[in-house]
Amino acid sequence: MSLSRQYSFWGSLSPLGGLTGAGLLIMASARLSWAITVAGGLFWVYGFSAFVYSAISTYAVKILPEKGRAAIYTCIASFFGSIYLLLFWLLCPFAALENFLLLLLVPLFCACSGISENPAADIFENVSDSVSQAASLSGLLIIFSIVREPLSYCSLSFPGTSQGIVTIMYFTEGAFLPIGIFSHSAGALILLGFIICLYQSSKGNRGE
C-alpha cells in the first residue's frame, strides 16, 4: 500500500486515525493563526525535504550510507524547517516568536513520514505522498482550531501585523462562549477525544 493511502484522512496511519500528530494538534490549534502558520511550515518542510532527499537518492545514491538514512532525512527536514522559520521571522518577528517551538517540531514530524524508507521510489510519487501527509495534518489543524478558538477566546485570528495576530472575528462578551477550559491542553484533549469518538463511530458505521 502506498504511503499516500496510509496517511490519507481516513487511512490507518493518518494523524487522526493513529494520533500521529496529536501533540501538534493540541499545541497548535489554540489559535487559528498558529494553525495557519504551522500548516504553511508543514507544506514547506514536507515538500522540499521529500524532493531533495528523493533527488539525492535517485541521482547521487552512492553518497547515501546503507544505514543512517533516517538521520540524513531528519537533517534535511531540519534545514528546510530553519529556512521557513527565518523567512517567517523576517516577515513577522513576533508571530515567529509565538510559534517558535511549534515550528521546531515540524521537522520531527516530517522525519517520521516514511519517505526515507523508500529511496528508490519515483521523485514525483515521494513528493506527492509527503505533501498528502502535510495536507492531512494541516487540514486537521485548521479545522480543529476553527472549532477550538471561538470556544476558548470568542474570536478567530490570522497571523500578521506587528502584534503577531489579526483578529478577524470577535464574539460579544457575556455570551455562552467562551468556555475557557478549551484554551488549555486538558480541555483540548477533551475536545479532541470527542472528535475522535465521532470519527471512530462514523468509521464503524461505514464498515471499515
Round to whole Å and give the CA distance between 128 and 122.
10
Provide CB contacts within 8 A for 50, sequence distance 6+: 113, 115, 126, 127, 129, 130, 131
DSSP string, 108-134: HHHHTSSGGG-TTS-HHHHHHHHHHHH
172-183: pLDDT as tens digits: 655 555 566 777
Provide CB contacts within 8 A for 193, sequence distance 6+: none
pLDDT reported for residue 8: 47
48-87: pLDDT as tens digits: 999 998 888 777 666 677 677 788 888 999 999 999 999 9
CA distances from 176 to 146, 150, 173 (A): 17, 11, 9
pTM flag (> 0.95): no
**What angle, 0 to 180 degrees and rounded to 10, lies between the N-to-C axes of helices 69-91 and 32-59?**
140
153-163: pLDDT as tens digits: 878 888 876 66
Which residues are 158's β-sheet partners?
166
Q: Exposed/middle/buried for 192, CB within 10 Å: 0-12, 13-18, 19+?
A: buried
In terms of pLDDT, which residue wins out, 106 or 118?
Answer: 106
22-52: pLDDT as tens digits: 778 888 888 899 999 999 999 999 999 999 9
Which residues are 157's β-sheet partners?
167
Round to whole Å and give the CA distance between 143 and 107.
22
CB 167 within 8 A of CB 31: no
Neighbour count for residue 93 (Cβ, 10 Å) = 12
126-157: pLDDT as tens digits: 888 888 888 888 988 898 888 888 887 878 88
Round to whole Å and give the CA distance between 175 and 150.
11
> Mean pLDDT throughout 119-123?
66
Nearest CA among 168, 56, 27 for reference residue 115: 56
197-208: pLDDT as tens digits: 777 777 666 655
